[in-house]
């Protein structure tokens, strides 16, 4: 039939979808064949499901013929309007936060049992990616499914250095990628997120940063899905300040909002794991740390006044000592880095200085940590990245009493 060659998205524009059991948003760039394979996998989920799939309108969607291989009792409807973009001259793409909000709102409107968001490309494309996120939600075994990417040693460093160990220490669950960006979210959780202020962007809620803390503070079921190696964009070390402000601002805001929750947590535990770990080939990449150390040394001379408003004298003293070390000897102790992160979180809460300036002033310290981490891994080749990361995470947990004390009595430690 002639309609077989019409993209499914165009056919769906002719009618309204009132309900869907599952909403799947594909934010990653995928070719039509990969999307068709993913949809076929979704159709193999148990039960006669009505599945609404939203893909960015800029990407070409599969045709009905492409989806025929997924013949099953479940139906797929392409609804690109769920990811509609602003109209008008100069209108750019939606922010990540706004996009996630629109997906949760669509799930609520369609009375969906779950939402899945596929935002990453994996090196080994998997047709099962979305269905693996969805299955534990539909089975009632999880309210949040986060990814555990198979990672190389210099990928996702901000997550490794701050976000994952901080979330683990605060909320007591060992999530390796608490900010996704790929998620499976139950109806119960996305409705709570909508009701808590994500819909309007109030109260500092940010979908990527707030999902895991919201689930953990509500004692909802959280699981981790083992998946392949995520394709990361090349690191832009010249734009690190903006990245820190964008990523850590929402994380620190959640700390303030959830203080009564995380102050009760004492130890961490693993979460349920789905699937088997994916192995990556031996990683021989090295990192040039010379400019990172130059940035750290320059900041140690020029940012003393700013850092003095945030960090205690002992920390400032240790940083000055580090700045005088030869490059090959440069190592930032885990305990020092942990206290720096905790002190910046407190300064963010107290608004010690403008929050954007605060987080950007943390950039040279973060670059110092990256350089130290790289030196550890490159020194003699015997340091295993996973063990090094676990050691840092343990240091975040061991340093938590310092955070709790400063949080409750900030004046007692006032530098």
Distance of CA 337 to the CA centre of its chain: 21
Q: Which of 123, 279, 96 is nearest to 179 (CA)?
A: 96
pLDDT tens for each residue of 355-369 = 999 999 999 999 999
Q: What is the mean pLDDT of residues 271-285?
A: 86
- β-pairing, 75-78 vs 272-274, is unpaired
Domain boundary among 274, 307, 324: 274
Domain boundary among 220, 248, 274: 274
pLDDT score of 191 more than 80: yes
Residue 61 or residue 269, greater confidence: 269
Does residue 212 sit within a domain? Answer: yes
pLDDT grade, residue 234 (50/70/90)?
Answer: confident
**Sequential DSSP letters for 371-407:** HHHHHHHHSSS---HHHHHHHHHHHHHHTHHHHHHHH
- The region of weakest confidence among 76-85, 284-293, 389-398 is 76-85
- The region of weakest confidence among 160-174, 190-204, 219-233 is 190-204
- In this structure, are 305 and 386 located in the same domain? yes
DSSP helix, strand, coil percent of the chain (3-state; round to 5): 55, 10, 35
Distance of CA 222 to the CA centre of its chain: 15
Q: What is the mean pLDDT of residues 372-378?
A: 93
pLDDT score of 167 more than 90: yes
- In this structure, are 267 and 315 located in the same domain? no
CB atoms within 10 A of CB 125: 16
pLDDT score of 6 more than 60: no
Distance separating alpha carbons of residues 52 and 45, to the nearest angstrom: 14
| CA angle, 75 then 222 then 102, to 5° | 50
Q: What is the mean pLDDT of residues 244-265?
A: 95
pLDDT grade, residue 206 (50/70/90)?
Answer: confident
Q: What is the pLDDT of residue 357?
A: 95
Quickly list H helices, 89-194. 96-109, 129-138, 157-158, 164-171, 187-193
Contacts of 220 (CB under 8 A, 6+ apart): 143, 144, 186, 188, 189
Residue 123 or residue 259, greater confidence: 259
Distance separating alpha carbons of residues 361 and 284, to the nearest angstrom: 32
Dihedral sign, CA of 5, 8, 12, 18? positive
Residue 329 or residue 196, greater confidence: 329
Q: What is the mean pLDDT of residues 152-176?
A: 96
- In this structure, are 234 and 104 located in the same domain? yes
Q: What is the pLDDT of residue 89?
A: 40
Does residue 283 sit within a domain? Answer: no
Q: What is the mean pLDDT of residues 29-45?
A: 91
Does residue 229 sit within a domain? Answer: yes
Q: What is the mean pLDDT of residues 329-344?
A: 97
pTM of the model: 0.89
- In this structure, are 42 and 126 located in the same domain? yes
Whole-number percent of the chain with pLDDT over 70: 85
pLDDT score of 58 more than 80: no
Domain boundary among 274, 302, 325: 274
pLDDT score of 12 more than 60: no
Q: What is the mean pLDDT of residues 371-379?
A: 91
Q: What is the pLDDT of residue 90?
A: 43
The two three-digit tokens of residue 181, written as one number: 């960006």
Q: Is residue 248 a contact partner of residue 363, using CB atoms and an 8 Å limit?
A: no
Please tell me whether residue 173 adopts helix, strand or coil conformation.
strand
Angstrom CA distances, 262 to 80, 124, 170, 172, 310, stand at 39, 37, 5, 8, 22
- In this structure, are 159 and 106 located in the same domain? yes
Looking at the structure of the chain, the number of domains it has is 2
Helix (H) or strand (E) holding 114: strand 114-118
pLDDT grade, residue 72 (50/70/90)?
Answer: low
- The region of weakest confidence among 87-96, 206-215, 316-325, 401-410 is 87-96
Q: What is the pLDDT of residue 9?
A: 38
Range of the domain at 179: 18-274
- The region of weakest confidence among 23-27, 123-127, 266-270 is 123-127
**183-186, strands of its sheet edge to edge:** 75-78, 50-55, 22-26, 114-118, 183-186, 144-149, 222-227, 272-274
- In this structure, are 151 and 235 located in the same domain? yes
Does residue 60 sit within a domain? Answer: yes
- In this structure, are 294 and 245 located in the same domain? no
**Sequential DSSP letters for 305-352:** HHHHTTS-HHHHHHHHHHHTS-GGG----HHHHHHHHHHHHHHHHHTS
Q: Which of 49, 57, 52 is nearest to 25 (CA)?
A: 52
Does residue 284 sit within a domain? Answer: no
Average pLDDT of the chain to the nearest whole number:
86
Q: Is residue 192 a contact partner of residue 214, using CB atoms and an 8 Å limit?
A: yes
- In this structure, are 245 and 391 located in the same domain? no
Distance separating alpha carbons of residues 325 and 227, to the nearest angstrom: 40
pLDDT score of 54 more than 80: yes
pLDDT grade, residue 189 (50/70/90)?
Answer: very high
- In this structure, are 268 and 295 located in the same domain? no
- β-pairing, 114-118 vs 144-149, is unpaired
Phi, psi of 53 (to 5 degrees): -110, 125
Beta bridge partners of 145: 184, 223
């Amino acid at each position: 039939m002639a309609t077989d060659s019409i993209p499914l998205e165009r056919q769906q524009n002719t009618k309204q979808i009132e309900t869907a059991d599952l909403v799947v948003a594909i934010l990653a760039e995928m070719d039509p064949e990969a999307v068709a394979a993913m949809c076929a996998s979704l159709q193999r989920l148990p039960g006669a499901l009505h599945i609404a799939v939203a893909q960015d309108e800029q990407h070409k969607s599969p045709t009905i013929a492409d989806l025929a291989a997924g013949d099953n009792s479940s139906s797929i409807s392409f609804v690109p309007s769920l990811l509609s973009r602003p109209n008008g001259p100069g209108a750019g793409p939606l922010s990540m936060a706004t996009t996630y909000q629109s997906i949760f709102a669509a799930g609520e409107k369609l009375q969906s049992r779950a939402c899945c968001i596929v935002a990453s490309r994996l090196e080994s494309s998997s047709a099962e990616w979305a269905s693996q996120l969805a299955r534990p939600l539909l089975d009632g075994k999880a309210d949040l499914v986060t990814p555990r990417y198979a990672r190389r040693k210099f990928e996702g460093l901000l997550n490794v250095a701050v976000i994952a160990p901080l979330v683990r220490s605060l909320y007591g669950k060992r999530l390796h990628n608490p900010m996704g960006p790929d998620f499976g979210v139950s109806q119960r959780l996305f409705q709570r997120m909508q009701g808590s202020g994500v819909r309007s962007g109030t109260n500092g809620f940010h979908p990527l940063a707030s999902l895991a803390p919201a689930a953990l503070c509500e004692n909802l079921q959280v699981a981790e899905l083992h998946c392949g190696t995520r394709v990361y964009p090349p690191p832009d070390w010249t734009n690190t300040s903006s990245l820190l402000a964008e990523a850590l601002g929402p994380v620190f805001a959640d700390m303030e909002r959830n203080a009564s929750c995380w102050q009760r947590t004492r130890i961490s535990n693993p979460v349920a794991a789905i699937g088997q770990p994916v192995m990556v080939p031996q990683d021989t990449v090295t990192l040039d740390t010379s400019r990172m150390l130059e940035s750290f040394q320059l900041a140690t001379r020029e940012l003393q006044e700013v850092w003095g408003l945030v960090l205690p004298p002992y920390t400032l003293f240790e940083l000055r000592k580090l700045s005088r070390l030869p490059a090959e000897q440069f190592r930032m102790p885990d305990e020092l880095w942990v206290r720096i992160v905790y002190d910046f979180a407190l300064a963010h809460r107290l608004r010690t200085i403008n929050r954007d300036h605060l987080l950007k002033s943390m950039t040279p310290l973060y670059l110092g940590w990256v350089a130290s981490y790289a030196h550890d891994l490159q020194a003699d080749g015997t340091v295993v990245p996973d063990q090094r990361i676990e050691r840092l995470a343990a240091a975040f947990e061991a340093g938590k009493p310092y955070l709790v004390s400063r949080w409750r009595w900030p004046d007692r430690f006032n530098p």
